[in-house]
C-alpha cells in the first residue's frame, strides 16, 4: 500500500547500542499516539512521536540541507503534504518536523547530525548510522529532560522487532493491537487519502503486523497490549511496573491517583512478566 513500505532489515546487525528505550509499535490507527503521550507524562520518561528514519535518502547531508531549506522558507517545502512538497525532499522534511515534535530544536538536530557524520565518516545512509542518530536524539532528549529513559513510536517497524531488539538489547517493546474491525473502519472512514482502501487490504495488513513480530520478539522485553471494542486506550490489565518508581507528580504537574499514573507505571513493565511466561512456555 502506498506510503506503508518499510525497508527490509531482517538480518541482525553486528552492533549494539547501550541505551534502554521504550519502543512502541503497531498498525497505523491503533492507538500508538495516545500511548506515547500517556508514557511521556511519566516523570522518568521522555517519549516522542514516530521518527521516519528509514525513509529519507540519508540522515546526513540530506537532513542538513532540509534544515537550511526550512530556515529560508524554500518554496520546494511549501505546504505540509506530499501534494505540495517536492517529492525529492518530502521524507527529509517530514523527518525534521517529527524531530521538532519530539522537542528537538533544529540547531540541535544539526549538531547531532554533524557530530555523528564526523565520527562515522559517512552520510548516515546505512541502517547502523540511522539507528545511531536516533539513539543520539533519544539520549539528547533524555538528558535534556532529566528522564531515565527515552522512547518513540516504531509503528509498523515492529515487524522488524528482532532487528531492533538486537540493536538495542536493553530496549522494551510495546505492541499495540487494536481490534481489526475497528482498525479497518478507522482507515476507511478517517484516513482515506493514505490508509487502506478496502476491508480486504486492511485485514491482510493487520494480520501481517499482528503475527509477524511474534516470530522474532525478544523474551522478556516484548509486550502485546490488546485494544478491543471502540476504545483507544490500552486496557489496564496489560500494565505493570518496569523498574520505575511510583511518582505522585509527573513533568506536567500533580496527577490524580487514577488511570494515568497507574497506566504509566503498569504499561512499562508488563513485558517482563509476559516475557517470563513466554520463556516458561518455551521451556515447557
Q: What is the reported pTM?
A: 0.77
Residue with cell 522474532: 216
Range scoring the smallest mean pLDDT among 16-20, 43-47, 78-82, 139-143: 78-82
Positive/negative CA dihedral, 206, 207, 213, 214: positive
Q: What is the pLDDT of residues 241-272, one digit of tens each?
A: 344 444 333 444 333 334 433 444 444 444 44
Query: Using CA atoms, how far apart are residues 280 and 277, in angstroms rounded to an integer?
Result: 5
- Own/partner contacts of 106-115, CB < 8 Å, gap of 24 or more, are 106/67, 106/70, 106/71, 108/140, 109/63, 109/67, 109/137, 110/64, 110/67, 112/136, 112/137, 112/140, 113/59, 113/60, 113/63, 113/64, 114/64
Q: Which residues pair with 25 in a beta bridge?
A: 155, 175
Q: Residue 11 above 70 pLDDT?
A: no
List domains and CATH numbers for the chain.
16-44+150-284 (3.40.50), 52-147 (no CATH)
Mean pLDDT of the chain: 81
Task: Label residues 31-64 b or e (16+ Cβ within 10 Å = b).
Answer: bbbebbebbbbbbbbbbbbbbbbbbbebbbebbb
Shortest CA distance to 7 belongs to which of 140, 130, 97? 130
Cβ–Cβ under 8 Å, residues 112 and 63: no
Residue range 61-72: average pLDDT? 96
Q: Residue 38 above 80 pLDDT?
A: yes
Q: What is the pLDDT of residues 183-215, one digit of tens each?
A: 888 888 888 787 888 999 888 888 999 999 999
CB count within 10 Å of CB 254 equals 7
Residue range 168-182: average pLDDT? 93
Q: Is 30 helix (H, G, I), strand (E, B) or coil?
A: coil
Query: Using CA atoms, how far apart are residues 255 and 259, in angstroms rounded to an integer?
Result: 10
Query: Using CA atoms, how far apart are residues 169 and 155, in angstroms rounded to an integer?
Result: 19
Residues in the chain: 284
Amino acid at each position: 500500500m502506498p506510503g506503508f513500505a518499510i525497508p527490509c532489515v531482517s538480518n541482525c546487525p553486528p552492533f549494539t547500542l547501550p541505551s534502554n528505550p521504550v519502543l512502541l509499535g503497531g498498525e497505523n490507527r491503533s492507538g500508538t499516539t495516545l500511548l506515547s503521550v500517556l508514557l511521556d507524562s511519566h516523570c522518568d520518561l521522555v517519549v516522542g512521536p514516530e521518527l521516519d528514519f528509514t525513509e529519507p535518502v540519508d540522515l546526513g547531508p540530506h537532513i542538513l540541507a532540509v534544515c537550511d531549506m526550512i530556515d529560508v522558507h524554500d518554496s520546494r517545502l511549501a505546504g505540509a503534504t506530499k501534494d505540495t512538497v517536492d517529492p525529492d525532499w518530502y521524507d527529509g522534511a517530514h523527518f525534521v518536523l517529527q524531530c521538532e515534535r519530539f522537542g528537538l530544536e533544529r540547531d540541535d538536530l544539526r549538531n547531532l547530525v554533524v557530530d555523528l557524520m564526523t565520527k562515522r565518516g559517512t552520510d548516515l545512509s546505512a541502517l547502523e548510522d540511522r539507528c545511531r542518530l536516533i539513539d543520539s536524539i533519544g539520549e539528547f532528549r533524555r538528558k535534556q529532560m532529566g528522564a531515565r529513559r527515552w522512547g518513540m513510536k516504531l509503528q509498523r517497524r515492529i515487524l522488524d522487532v528482532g532487528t531492533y531488539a538486537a540493536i538495542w538489547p536493553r530496549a522494551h517493546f510495546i505492541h499495540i493491537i487494536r481490534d481489526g474491525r475497528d482498525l479497518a473502519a478507522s482507515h476507511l472512514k478517517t484516513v482515506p487519502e493514505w490508509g487502506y482502501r478496502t476491508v480486504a487490504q486492511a485485514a491482510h495488513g493487520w494480520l501481517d503486523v499482528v503475527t509477524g513480530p511474534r516470530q522474532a520478539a525478544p523474551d522478556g522485553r516484548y509486550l502485546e497490549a490488546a485494544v478491543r471494542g471502540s476504545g483507544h486506550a490500552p486496557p489496564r490489565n496489560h500494565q505493570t511496573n518496569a523498574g520505575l518508581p511510583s511518582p505522585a507528580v509527573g513533568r506536567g504537574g500533580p496527577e490524580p491517583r487514577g488511570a494515568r499514573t497507574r497506566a504509566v507505571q503498569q504499561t512499562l513493565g508488563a513485558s517482563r512478566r509476559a516475557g517470563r511466561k513466554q520463556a516458561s512456555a518455551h521451556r515447557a
